[in-house]
Amino acid sequence: MTPTHSVTAPLRIDSAELRLVRLPLVTPFTISTGTMVEKVFPLLTLRADGIEGYAEGVMDPLPDYLEETIAGGMAFLRDLILPQVVGKTFENPAAMDRLLAPWRGHQMAKAVVEMAFWDLWAKSLNLPLKTVFGGSGDKVAVGVSLGIGPVEETLDRVAAHLAQGYQRIKLKVRPGHDEVLVAAVRNAFPDCHLTVDANSCYTLADTALMRRLDAFALDYIEQPLAWDDIHDHAVLQQRIQTPICLDECLRTSGDVRKALQSDAARVVNIKVGRSGGYVESLRMHDICAAFSVPVWCGGMLESGIGRAHNIHLSTLPNFTKPGDTSSASRYFTRDLIEEKLETSEGWMPVPTGPGIGVTPDWEFLATITRSTETFRP
Ligand code: OSB
Ligand code: MG
């Protein structure tokens, strides 16, 4: 029998829409580098054959997590990438990656386009996104990331989240707000999975403090040293028992390979939005599996669009530790999608339906959109 149609058809991008969106946060979120009171981000729609793919960017207004910024990322997309994407036909996501590959850096900005294309691609196949890249399962394990605040208040928040079933507590730390906090939480909750995230605020001069943290049975210490320094993390790992988990240092699969080869990380945080998109995140995932290093899915306070992407990514088999993709209601009074992304007993259901499986709430989105730019061939 001759097939009457091909199962996959090349997709021609008819148009793209780049918005700048602003969502207020329920509570300010403080990490070692500063405080966020609202989530501002680029939101991209790619259109082809009457279907739409969506993704958001994880860059911040200021280059204080990594060097990418919203302004820089939007310029890269507006001036260089989107004019090349519209009117062009792509065989598959790998073809999109070839278009992005020549350009140095810009992993967050590249991820916006790449992820939106994967959503579009999966929808064109009428399949959930996870299925298209080899994930499985209908729920993913999650913990919470708690921002810096008074110790007493943090203890209450830990108790409340453990009562809700969250499977791991991550405490943000900074110099002067570390050992005492961790001791208090560990003392009150001797058995919970506990981690800390320094967001690069220490140096090797803090080795003695890092060694003292070994006493608290942390699952790992996330990104204690400089954002761009894999080497010093390898040095620190030789001096402490607690596994090091890298976040900021890992933008490409090459970074992951170097980190694991030098024993700079024994746990890996993958953020698809930080790493150029799915093709590179899949490579990262596979390298970690080859080194028997467990991975988990990080977050950047994403809206429902980025959150849905993170949930799909987390269905890959080596995501064996709880991720940061907790209930959207912890971050926003009102999310910008129709669906509610809420956990139950520490499990986040994977949205069903084609692609990322969530739908923008266009009416609400109109009220929080700061600017909109449309791109056509
Ligand atoms: O380092 O993982 C991080 C939030 C903003 C910037 C960096 C980080 C974080 C978080 C929060 O830890 C993760 C989340 O709840 O989305
Ligand atoms: Mg982190």
Concatenate the DSSP letters of all residues of 71-128 into one string: HHHHHIIIIIIHHHHTT-EESSHHHHHHHHTTS-S-HHHHHHHHHHHHHHHHHHTT-B
Per-residue pLDDT, 9: 81
Per-residue confidence band for 240, with pLDDT thresholds at 50, 70 and 90: very high
pLDDT digits (tens, 9 = 90+) for 49-108: 999 999 999 999 999 999 999 999 999 999 999 999 999 999 999 999 999 999 999 999
pLDDT digits (tens, 9 = 90+) for 111-148: 999 999 999 999 999 999 999 999 999 999 999 999 99
**Can you tell me which atom of ligand 1 is nearest the CA of 222?**
1
Which residue, 195, 197, 148, 199, is CA-closest to 168?
A: 195
* 248 neighbors 225 (Cβ within 8 angstroms): no
Q: Is 60 in the pocket of ligand 1 (CB under 6 A)?
A: no
Q: Is 301 in the pocket of ligand 1 (CB under 6 A)?
A: yes
For residue 168, how far is its CA from the centre of ligand 1 (angstroms)?
A: 14
pLDDT digits (tens, 9 = 90+) for 247-290: 999 999 999 999 999 999 999 999 999 999 999 999 999 999 99
Q: Is 143 in the pocket of ligand 1 (CB under 6 A)?
A: no
Per-residue confidence band for 33, with pLDDT thresholds at 50, 70 and 90: very high
**Can you tell me which atom of ligand 1 is nearest the CA of 301?**
16
Paired tokens of 236:
């620190």
For residue 226, how far is its CA from the centre of ligand 2 (angstroms)?
A: 12
> Is 340 part of the annotated catalytic residue set?
no
Exposed / middle / buried, residue 56 (Cβ in 10 Å: 0-12, 13-18, 19+): buried
Q: Is the pLDDT of residue 224 over 70?
A: yes
Q: Is the pLDDT of residue 3 over 90?
A: no
Which residue, 4, 39, 40, 41, is CA-closest to 25?
A: 39
For residue 73, how far is its CA from the centre of ligand 2 (angstroms)?
A: 20
Q: Is the pLDDT of residue 6 over 90?
A: no
pLDDT digits (tens, 9 = 90+) for 187-220: 999 999 999 999 999 999 999 999 999 999 999 9
Per-residue pLDDT, 5: 47
> Is 170 part of the annotated catalytic residue set?
no
Q: Is 178 in the pocket of ligand 1 (CB under 6 A)?
A: no
* 299 neighbors 323 (Cβ within 8 angstroms): yes
Paired tokens of 331:
């971050």
pLDDT digits (tens, 9 = 90+) for 294-351: 999 999 999 999 999 999 999 999 999 999 999 999 999 999 999 999 999 999 999 9
For residue 55, how far is its CA from the centre of ligand 2 (angstroms)?
A: 21
Domains of the chain: 11-126+362-375 (3.30.390.10), 132-349 (3.20.20.120)
Paired tokens of 365:
């989105």
Q: Is 97 in the pocket of ligand 1 (CB under 6 A)?
A: no
